Structure 1
């Protein structure tokens, strides 16, 4: 079979979750939206089921997949609901629900429910994506209480630039949150992965680790707590062909790489149809047989090429790590002008193999 595959280390996943709880000194919702950032939502949730305080997903489809797999822990819908008809299912499956818009509040007020909801009321503290404006937040909170249809309200917001450790925007958003929620009481949820790792002064009764669960740093620079993360995914394949080229020869589509010296080229069974970024340039790091080298030439649909000139021991069948412990996904992402979130979420066609007890 084609050797391209993604190895998922469930012990590393558990390690990263425990780090999130340690850093947060709080309960933690493991964010498993987008199929656990490409790692497999059901298998990741099962691996965390004995210790996670709950899970967070984007939408009800993702939540129902977890419920069908037997996950009984709390599940938060981060985007809330998209139609009022979903409220019956939310109540039936005892899902927790973000409310970020006036129409969602109105839908709750007018919809008969089998049981009261656990609502996470989202404030737009400055990201300006979704969330209630500060001037309408208190009234929304009061209306939810008056509706008789909620049994708990968690006060929440989301940081736009917590991954920039020297940026004042996080402190500004925190100040806006405190002003809008002063005197309301109740639990608070503010810290996502970068806030957990880099902003210990931010209060949070509930934390929401996402990218850090999967062992990737949200920061562009080195950071002391992020260095404690363990990569969960190793994307690997093998050398399937070797070419010996003289100086001056092009490699791949568009002749984006031309050999400056006699060059030994390894062809790897991995391409953009697997989710490897097509726009990754020559020089993007890879590891062959445990030794780091570089991508050369343009990434094709099913194959890419790497420099074996200084790796005489490498050849047909040599293992290639595209990202993992030796080649951090953040390095590949930086070389390709993207972020590790996108690398993981774009993974497709490649079979996943899990290690560590589920």
Structure 2
């Protein structure tokens, strides 16, 4: 989803040779006699997108167009740092994005997200604080009780669990070896040197490193694919990890909008989903109304009055907690299975002490 701080850029070879662009009051205005072209460009204008590229080819045509939503935030100029022959119909362009908005495009050490470090937490102090949680009377309302418990845990976590900075995620793929990483760094340095100097000798050095990198990258990738294929039965996680790298999007959106509420916080997103699904059910339906609606159903169905919520004991909860694996990731509540493992260990210690 587009955030207010985002910059929208739509660019490519539109190949509208029958359109000329006139500069009027600092804005490029299209001029064409074809109705189809005018309708297309008017639709883009209705979306508040403005064309900013005025660099024409050797025939005086502008085939590569750049549409932006903020003309003061993006600039276009001819590019002179060339590494391939110039296409006479498509001159190379250099796009510059001016970071004039409050958002930052790059992740720095200061802007990295923080998370709770449950690995270094004091679990004895944590258990003591949890044992002090008071339970108000909610008249059997499970939702209010769960919300009270969740808010209490978050408050305790903020006091006891230390915060650590999220590590920078590496962009290297899973098949990268040490030699491949070294070649990639050398190739990048050689390209920067050529772009700065423009010398043919520097371009030759860059070309040699680029060829070595491409050959080794292909070899490492094929070896990785073969390992995943051979170990798909014994290690299916590696297969699905590879599949996830090929996906263009995550399993859930990073930003969610519901009515007038927009949030990127996982806890708030979970609450928004819960609120949306809850709004699709009416609490005013009675058993007689439901039974009357089911009376015309051609098959036998038990009465609505027969449906009972099963009783869940503390022993049932403990059984399912014991089935959790420490490799499971934390959910939106940010409580990892490592904490559950510590709780089980403490319970076993208490049982041993009580038997002595």
TM-score w.r.t. the length of structure 1 is 0.23
Larger Rg: 2
Point out the structure with the larger strand share. 1
Point out the structure with the larger helix share. 2
Higher relative contact order (CA 8 A, sep 6+): 1
